[in-house]
Amino acid sequence: MAKPTRKSATLAVIIPVGPGDRSWRTLLPDLAALPERAEIILVAAPGESPAGFQPAAFALPCRSRWITAPVGRAQQQNAGAAQSGAEVLWFVHADSRLTAATLTALNRYLASPHGLGYFDLRFLGDGPLAMSLNALGAWIRSHWLRLPFGDQGFILMASDFQHLGGFDSTLVAGEDHALVWQARRMGVKLRALHAPIHSSARKYAKHGWWRMTWHHLAATWQQARRFSNERTRNNGHDEGASPR
């Protein structure tokens, strides 16, 4: 990954970590090529962060730290954003894996930061063979229907994140879906970054491919009906906001 130019925006990588999740240990080495002025913020529930965390053990050149927040991806990601002073926020799930192409696309975004960026979802080899169909479905959903989800590595300017009101922490699930609808209503353009981000498929292996696929399809449909009909939040902006 080529180092960003001096004019590139500063970056914070925010990684929510669920109870008992240790997949972040595999993700962190993928971030070793980040610029030194970037920061990595891992967010866990109280008592879940590891004792004696040493960034050097993962070859991380930039500032890395743990903070705590109540259980829930929306609350954890909002807490990470609130603790960051960076110009750009990159929300990466703990079970994600990155490639050189991912980081090259990240570098391009930092050189010209605008819109709500997202990557093309791919799955690791820890699930059923049929996961290639899920990857295709995610591509159609995000590129044709303009509905990327959080496992596609949302990246956006911190100012835009504040403009959108952050993730809705009142939702039990679908906070990423809600943020996309909010962006569409408030004129923050969606930006496909045309590079892969890999996610674990272990839940499909554990619970069954058909069961999990149907569950996600049904949830997506229900959330889309709900969020598309909701009015813009009462935050001082109207639906006629100019694209950002």
Indicate the domain borders of the chain: 11-229
Give 29-83 pLDDT, tens digit per residue: 999 999 888 999 999 998 888 877 888 888 887 789 999 999 999 999 999 999 9
pLDDT for res 8: 85
| Per-residue pLDDT tens digits for 103-145 | 999 999 999 999 999 999 999 999 889 999 999 999 999 999 9
pLDDT confidence of residue 183: 97
The model's pLDDT over 141-185, given as tens digits with 9 standing for 90+, comes to: 999 999 999 999 999 999 999 999 999 999 988 999 999 999 999
Q: Does domain 11-229 have CATH number 3.40.50.11900?
A: no
Mean pLDDT of 203-232: 82
Name all contacts of 110-115 with Cβ < 8 Å and 24+ positions apart.
110/4, 110/8, 110/9, 110/11, 111/4, 111/5, 111/7, 111/8, 113/9, 113/87, 113/88, 113/156, 113/157, 114/157, 114/189, 114/191, 114/244, 115/156, 115/160, 115/188, 115/189, 115/190, 115/191, 115/244
What does pTM read for this prediction?
A: 0.89
